[in-house]
Amino acid sequence: MTEFEFWQKIKEMGQITYDWWYPTIALPALIWALSILFLAIFAARKIKKVHNRFLTLFLSTIPVLLIFPSAYIASTLKSALNRVGYSMPTNANDFARNDAIVLGNYLNTFGLWGVLGITLTLPLLLTSLSRSEVPVISPAIRNATKTITNIATRAFGRRGGAGGGGRINAPYGSVTINNGSRKGSIEALRPDFTIGSKGDIQVSDVIVSRTHAKFVLEENQIAVVDLGSTNGTFLVRDGQGFMLDGQPVPLEHGDMLYLGDPNQDNAVEMLFEFNTGA
C-alpha cells in the first residue's frame, strides 16, 4: 500500500477534514514557523525587560510546537504510524474502516493544530518586525521640522529651558524638546550631562527613566549614550532610525533623539542642533 493510496483511503473512510493540509502545506508551514522563531530571537535582543523577552520567545515557539506533529507525519508517514502502534497494510483492500476512522481522528487533530499554528505566526511576525527596526521617519517630514524650527529660531531667538531670554550659550549644541511635559524647552548640552526625571536635564514624562541617557565628549564632539533606560533611547538621522546601546554615538546637526520607542505616542522627541551663533 503506497502513501498515496493511504491518503485516498483515509479520505474515503476516515472522515478526515484536513487532508489538504498534509501533502503540500505542513512542511512549508513548519519552515515558516521556524523563520518567525528566528526573527523573534533576533528581535528579543532589543527587549530590555527579561520577562518580556522570555514571553516573546515562549509565544514564538508555540506555532512550531503546533505545526511539528503534522509536518512529521507528512514527511515520514510510515514512521509516524508505527509510533501509534499501527503498521500500514500491504494491500489497500486490507485497510479496515475502523482503523481509518481512528487514524482520521488523529490526523484531524494534528491538522487543526497546524492550522492554528500557522495562523498565530501572523501577529508574531508583525510584533517581531516592529521590534527589530525603529520605524523610518520620512526625510521630508524631518527636514520640514528642521526648517520650521530654524525659522522660529531666527525670528524669535532661543529661550533657555529655565525661561531666560535671548540665545543660549551652547558650544556643544542644544536639544529642543518637541513634546511632552517640557515641550518647547531648549537645553544647552554639556559633557557628562544626564537627561532623565532626576537628571541634569530634567524630563518628568512617565516613559523617561531617572537617568535615561548621558551626553559625553568623544574626540571633541558631543555624543549620547543610553544608560540602561527602561524604554530605550533612539536616534533618527536622515530618515534612518536605530536604538542606542551602551556605546556613545556622536551627534550631528538635525538628529532627532527619542526617549522611548518612537512607536509609542508618549515618547519624548528632541531635535539636536549646533549653536550657530548670535
What's the whole-number mean pLDDT along residues 268-275?
Answer: 89
Q: Model pTM greater than 0.85? A: no
CA atoms of 37 and 49, how far apart (whole Å):
19
- Contact criterion met (CB below 8 Å) for 254 and 142: yes
pLDDT at 154: 46
pLDDT at 159: 44
pLDDT in tens, 195-224: 999 999 999 999 999 999 999 998 889 999
In degrees rounded to 5, what are phi and psi of residue 223?
-135, 165
Closest CA to 107 of 11, 1, 33: 11
End-to-end CA distance of the chain: 90
Is pLDDT above 90 for 68?
yes
Q: Could you please report the per-residue DSSP string of 183-230?
A: TT-EEE--TTEEEETTSSEE---TTS-TT-EEEEEETTEEEEEE-S-S
pLDDT in tens, 120-176: 888 877 776 665 544 444 455 555 555 555 555 444 444 444 444 445 567 889 999
CA atoms of 194 and 181, how far apart (whole Å):
17
Q: Which residues share a beta bridge with 273?
A: 174
pLDDT at 131: 56
Closest CA to 259 of 223, 236, 238, 231: 231
Torsion, CA 238, CA 221, CA 160, CA 187, rounded to 10: 70
CA atoms of 236 and 104, how far apart (whole Å):
55
